[in-house]
Amino acid sequence: MIRENKTFDELKPGDSAELKRTCTTDDLIVFANVSGNHNPMHLPHHDIDGDGKEDEVVAPSMWIGSLISAVLGNILPGPGTLYRRQELRFKDRARAGDDLIARVTVLSKNDDGSVRLGTEVRRAADNVLVLEGEAEVLAPRAKFQFEEQDLPGLVVQRHRHFDKLLETAEKLPPISVAVVSPEEANSLGGALLGTKARLITPILVGHKDKILAAAKELGESLDGIEIIDAPNDTAAANAAVDLVADGRAHALMKGHLHTDVLLKAALRKERGLRIGRRFTHIFVMDVPGVAHPLLVTDAAVNIAPDLPTKVDIVQNAIDLAHSLGMDNPKVGVLSAVETVNPAIPSSVDAALLSKMNERGQIQGGIVDGPLAMDNAINITAARIKGIVSPVAGQAEVLVVPDLDAGNMLAKQLTFISGAEAAGIVMGAKVPIILTSRADSDKSRLASCAVALVHQARVSGKI
């Protein structure tokens, strides 16, 4: 947008200008970081008055005052304006979600080049005066036009999708989880974290002495937690699957053992966890700046999936997306290109999966591909390339060509984009929680929450 200032000579009493701005929680988090004012009254997820409810986030008064500066610097008088003084009187409060209108009006001009302006901010919804005052500025003498600067974007590293997921999960009764070989501090700590959050009720299956030693290292007590002694990882994995078969556990959690040992036990023919689909891994990712959770699959189990395996990968992801509240999830099947190229097998598989979805062989979501990464998640990229699709630019599930691509994508989102990732295996009778030693506490809790919410939806509890 091209903006042009009003010089001192052009200004006259009664001239007025305004800007409308929606107050968001992200604005207030940025303001807290820049100003150093971390008053919980101005930040989300705090109960200030002790009534047991998180109060609405109140906008800091000086953030509201800064809206006046935006009008003065951008519009009236505009570029070249310098403050001399600002008087502010706060009449009411604004909160996150409010639309605010900041307005300035020229009151008088002085011979020294200064201008006096009335200033106010009102809530748009009810026209209530939030702030009033008076500013004195030095107005520009020279005419100036400028194109409004495209400032570097800011992404608030906040994981609102996992916050919402945990809020949902915490209202449900804990799920009984067989934790396999939690024989070192990291893996045991993840299980205890979910226990303290009342997301899981663990049954610890593994070498008892090693489990107790890990608890001692953590400084944690295992009083009241059942421990089933098993001499090695294979025995522990089989004992944990037995707990599911007996109805005592409704999910598995990987501890300090190789994933293939755990999955081999789950895939056994007698009293195993098969349901007729391939086991597939799904990362549920909370990526800052993305308006919805992002599911990435398969990044941990199937190394080079063929077409039948990809059908199960897609269907498992759709089923989990339903549990997470996505009624008709948009599934983008990724390739290096967005057109079918017989020389690129992933593009052919993507087209076939899309057609299978159209014919009802994959149900419950909208599947489209091939899509390149840019036009799967960015609507502008999709439009530039002329892709007309209900999925392009809006994908909620990303199906990768192979494990290499999935693992790289998930780790790039985590370590470059600041995402948190919950890991879960689907396609079995119960969800299998896979955590990594590098996972944050938030990721570990989210993995437990995903398993809990999914089982609750499957059993009709929510």
Chain segment 59-108, per-residue pLDDT in tens = 999 999 999 999 999 999 999 999 999 999 999 999 988 999 999 999 99
CATH of domain 2-147: 3.10.129.10
Average confidence (pLDDT) over 407-430: 94
- Do 2-147 and 160-458 come out as alike in CATH topology? no
Kindly report the pTM of this predicted structure: 0.76
For residue 426, is pLDDT > 90? yes
Q: What average pLDDT does range 2-12 have in this prediction?
A: 92
Q: Which residue has the tokens 């702030």?
A: 131
Banded pLDDT at 160 (limits 50, 70, 90) = confident
Say how far apart CA 15 and CA 234 lie, in whole Å: 80
Residue 390 has pLDDT above 60, yes or no: yes
Question: Could you tell me the residue ranges of all domains in the chain?
Answer: 2-147, 160-458
The 3 state secondary structure assigned to 318-375 is HHHHHHCCCCCCEEEEECCCCCCCCCCHHHHHHHHHHHHHHCCCCCCCEEEEEECHHH
**Distance, CA of 168 to CA of 453 (rounded, Å):** 8
| pLDDT for residue 441 | 86
The residues that bridge with 90 in the sheet, in sequence order, are 131
Q: What is the pLDDT of residue 461?
A: 73
Rg from Cα positions in the chain? 28
According to the model, what pLDDT value does residue 299 have? 94
Q: DSSP of 83-102, one letter per residue?
A: EEEEEEEE-S--BTT-EEEE
Question: Quick one: pLDDT at residue 351?
Answer: 97
What mean pLDDT is reported for the chain?
92
**Percent of the chain with pLDDT strictly greater than 90:** 82
pLDDT in tens, 205-228: 999 999 999 999 999 999 999 999
| Homologous superfamily of domain range 160-458 | Isopropylmalate Dehydrogenase (3.40.718.10)
